[in-house]
Amino acid sequence: MDGRLQVFAGNGNRPLADEIMSVLEAPLGRAIVGSWQNGETRVKLEENVRGSDVFVIQSLSHPVNHHLVELLIMIDAIRRASAARVTAVIPYFAYAKQEKKTSGREPISAKLLANLLVTAGVDRILTLDLHAPAIEGFFDIPVDHMRATPLLASAFRKLGIDDLVAVSPDAGGVNRAEEFRLRAGASLAIISKKRPGPDTAEFIEMVGDVEGKTAVIVDDMIATGSTLAIAAEKLLERGAQRVFACAVHPVFAGDAIKVIETSPLERVIVTDTLPLPNRCSSKVEVLTVAPLLAEAITRIHKDLSISALFN
């Protein structure tokens, strides 16, 4: 791109946006992103973006729908101000669990969200660890799908734990756990579970040897924490000495913090794709994805390879 690099942010995760700009050694673009007195979202750019290569950082955190509308309106404002290109940087992509119909008369909400973003005028998406990688195919524009698993694996390598086993909490997460295993120098175990209802999990069986080992449950997100708690108990029953967990997105819905605090988990390592609650468990450790996203923004702006980051 010949245009200037400019970065704006919504209110979904301003601390992360500030950290990204600290790495880039540049200020965030000036903009009013708030609400009118009637509750409608208000956006006004206070920078000239004509001909610029513009990035909008917005994690779709709680309240999800409010932050989604903020992002859509910001994209529209930037597009109408004649930016050369608009890239939405979405560290946490909401509705990613709703990527298919599980029964009749259900929406495919992730596809609808993709349509909304494209209709608003976005040219490119930069995101981290989609719950369902197939969501990339919902877009007819480029999607740079980053992975934070190397960051999590590096954190466990630094702990110097022997006999580490990476545990996938379900069959769908095997590829993620396998990548963690290769990078952390661990073995692999897989838990089979079913979901009898929304946000509930039921243990069925486990494949792999965990006896006498330190188990790390590897997942993409922590919602209610129930899956982690059940898995940790089963791993200890199967002979694991210690149980850790790591995940990219700390959704922490409902009583998740309490569930983690009362579970047998020794430590839970997450990233800052979502803002953490003020009262968080002492068991939770947070790694920042700011350097990774800052490097990706730089590479996209300069038309350099993104995949080279994971070689």
CA distances from 2 to 85, 89, 123, 307 (A): 11, 20, 16, 22
CA quadruple 127, 288, 23, 275: dihedral sign? positive
- The reported pLDDT for the residue numbered 200 is 63
Residue type (1 letter), 153: A
194 or 206: which carries more pLDDT confidence?
Answer: 206
- The reported pLDDT for the residue numbered 203 is 73
Which of 156-165, 166-175, 195-204 shows the lowest per-residue confidence on average (mean pLDDT)? Answer: 195-204
Q: Label the pairing between strands 267-271 and 164-168.
A: unpaired
Exposure string (b/e) for 129-155, b if CB count within 10 Å is 16 or more?
bbbbeebeebbeeebbebbbbbbbbeb
**Annotated catalytic sites, by residue?**
193
- The reported pLDDT for the residue numbered 162 is 87
Q: Label the pairing between strands 187-194 and 202-207.
A: antiparallel
Cα separation, 21 vs 307, in Å, equals: 22
CA distances from 270 to 61, 289, 310 (A): 15, 10, 19
Has residue 198 got a pLDDT over 80?
A: no
Say whether both 48 and 103 belong to one domain: yes
The CATH number that applies at residue 171 is 3.40.50.2020
Say whether both 112 and 186 belong to one domain: no
Hey, what are 83's tokens? 């930016």
Cα separation, 277 vs 228, in Å, equals: 19
- The reported pLDDT for the residue numbered 103 is 87
- Going by C-beta distance under 8 Å and a sequence separation of 6 or more, which residues neighbour residue 40? none
Q: Residue holding tokens 């001909």?
A: 51
Has residue 129 got a pLDDT over 60?
A: yes
- The reported pLDDT for the residue numbered 170 is 87
- The reported pLDDT for the residue numbered 3 is 78
Domain count, the chain: 2
Cα separation, 268 vs 248, in Å, equals: 11
- The reported pLDDT for the residue numbered 165 is 97
3 state SS of 287: strand
CA distances from 131 to 64, 71, 128, 249, 304 (A): 16, 20, 9, 10, 26
Kindly report the number of other CB atoms within 10 A of residue 239's CB atom.
Answer: 12
Q: Residue holding tokens 């979202």?
A: 41
Say whether both 126 and 42 belong to one domain: yes
- The reported pLDDT for the residue numbered 192 is 82
Has residue 289 got a pLDDT over 60?
A: yes
Hey, what are 253's tokens? 């819905």
Say whether both 276 and 302 belong to one domain: no
Say whether both 156 and 123 belong to one domain: no
Say whether both 17 and 140 belong to one domain: yes
Per-residue pLDDT tens digits for 89-102? 999 999 999 999 98
- The reported pLDDT for the residue numbered 171 is 83
Hey, what are 191's tokens? 């838990």
Mean pLDDT of the chain: 94
- The reported pLDDT for the residue numbered 71 is 98
Say whether both 21 and 142 belong to one domain: yes
Which of 31-35, 40-44, 202-206, 225-229 shows the lowest per-residue confidence on average (mean pLDDT)? Answer: 202-206
Per-residue pLDDT tens digits for 61-75? 999 999 999 999 999
Which of 137-151, 186-200, 231-245 shows the lowest per-residue confidence on average (mean pLDDT)? Answer: 186-200
Say whether both 141 and 170 belong to one domain: no
- The reported pLDDT for the residue numbered 290 is 98
Per-residue pLDDT tens digits for 244-273? 999 999 999 999 999 999 999 999 999 999
3 state SS of 41: strand
Give residue 33's domain range: 5-148+291-310
Question: Are 24 and 1 contacting, i.e. CB atoms less than 8 angstroms apart?
Answer: no
Hey, what are 299's tokens? 């590479």
Work out the pLDDT band at 199, boundaries 50, 70, 90.
low
Say whether both 120 and 168 belong to one domain: no
- The reported pLDDT for the residue numbered 2 is 59
205 or 294: which carries more pLDDT confidence?
Answer: 294
- The reported pLDDT for the residue numbered 310 is 80
CA quadruple 15, 74, 297, 27: dihedral sign? negative
Say whether both 11 and 59 belong to one domain: yes
Say whether both 141 and 158 belong to one domain: no
Say whether both 172 and 201 belong to one domain: yes
